[in-house]
Amino acid sequence: MDFLQVDVFADKAFSGNPLAVFPNASALSSAQMQAIASEMNLSETSFVTGISKTTYDVRIFTPAQELPFAGHPTIGTAWTISHLELTAEERLTQRSAAGDTYVFVKDGRWWFVREGAAGEDLEDKDERAAGRIADALGIEPGDIGLEARELGRAGRLRPAVSDAGIGHLMIPVADLEVLQRIRPRAELLAGVTNSGAYCFTGAGAGRIRARGFFPGAGIAEDPATGSAAAELGIYLAARVGALEMEISQGTEIGRPSRIFLRAKPGRVEVGGRCEPVLEGRLSALP
């Protein structure tokens, strides 16, 4: 069975987040998909199980589990089926366990569109939330939170869960120095969030720097997390209004990534470029 590996949210090969795509995977069982994803040992591996003119069906696996939706596999899978000329359309609907996701290409970037909702600030329900989050990340409680003026708006941003398909904990931190010295403890992080943490701070006008930690899914730190970026867009738009941002992620682990974000309350678009890295063939199936 043939596959492609592409770097997603990348300006050049060997940056961004690598993804293995199996474009003709309808004959595989769930157990086979999970075994292959574990063998590939990337953040995610996607398996296309059906393609029509304007739609495709996909299943997405980390090395440890299946996901109902994920961002960089959505971008990378759409790019791959277009690159292989399995579709000539520039506007597609991806069907996965999380429902339909609209995908399109514009100016060399593939984009996906999701709707979602942001929850209340955790500290409104639990005044000790910042302390527990800080302990899990190896920083101080005073490092948690970000003045919204860093994003050109008024107010203060605090941790909250945001959901655009999976649901992640958004954690604003004070500055780049704090973001760089985060050293998460998986056992404590699991006590704070089951789905992982997306930590971010301001990095200049229209720019955000982020790090994503998802130990429960077998991903200690992710180079680029499209689903969490979408949920960050939902979170920010609910607090500061419509926005356009560029997110940098993966710098701390040597995989610099660029994620483009457009959001308004309840709706977000996430985009980026893909670079092909290798073509391969499995010599055996599990």
Looking at residue 89, its amino acid is E
What local confidence, expressed as pLDDT, does residue 11 receive? 92
Task: Tell me the C-alpha distance between 127 and 105, whole Å.
Answer: 44
Task: Tell me the C-alpha distance between 214 and 72, whole Å.
Answer: 15
Residues 7-20 have a mean pLDDT of: 96
Task: Tell me the C-alpha distance between 173 and 162, whole Å.
Answer: 16
Of 179, 161, 173, 166, residue with least CA distance to 235: 161
In the DSSP assignment, the letter for residue 35 is: H
Specify the DSSP element, H or E, that contains 162: strand 160-163
Tokens at residue 85, please?
Answer: 């000329």
What local confidence, expressed as pLDDT, does residue 56 receive? 97
Per-residue pLDDT of 157-170, as tens digits, reads: 999 999 998 889 99
Looking at residue 164, its amino acid is A
Answer whether 2-113+272-281 and 115-271 agree in fold. yes
Which CATH number is correct for 2-113+272-281, 3.10.310.10, 3.40.50.10190, 3.40.50.2300, 3.40.50.9100? 3.10.310.10
Exposure class string for 171-183: b at 16+ Cβ within 10 A, else e: bbbbeeebbeebe
The residue extents of the domains of the chain are 2-113+272-281, 115-271
Task: Tell me the C-alpha distance between 29 and 279, whole Å.
Answer: 22
Tokens at residue 166, please?
Answer: 């999976």
Task: Tell me the C-alpha distance between 41 and 48, whole Å.
Answer: 18
In the DSSP assignment, the letter for residue 217 is: G
Quickly count: other Cβ atoms within 10 Å of residue 100's Cβ: 11
Per-residue pLDDT of 240-279, as tens digits, reads: 999 999 999 999 999 999 999 999 999 999 999 999 999 9
Which residues belong to the active site? 44
Per-residue pLDDT of 109-160, as tens digits, reads: 999 999 999 999 988 777 788 899 999 999 999 999 998 877 766 678 999 9
Residues 58-71 have a mean pLDDT of: 93
What local confidence, expressed as pLDDT, does residue 176 receive? 96
Per-residue pLDDT of 194-232, as tens digits, reads: 878 999 999 988 999 999 999 887 788 999 999 999 999
The answer to whether the beta carbons of residues 32 and 56 sit under 8 Å apart is no
187 contact partners, CB below 8 Å, separation of at least 6: none
**Full-model pTM:** 0.92
CATH number for the segment(s) 115-271: 3.10.310.10
Of 89, 93, 90, residue with least CA distance to 108: 90
What local confidence, expressed as pLDDT, does residue 154 receive? 65
Tokens at residue 64, please?
Answer: 């440890």
Q: Please give the mean pLDDT across all residues of the chain.
A: 93
Residues 49-55 have a mean pLDDT of: 95
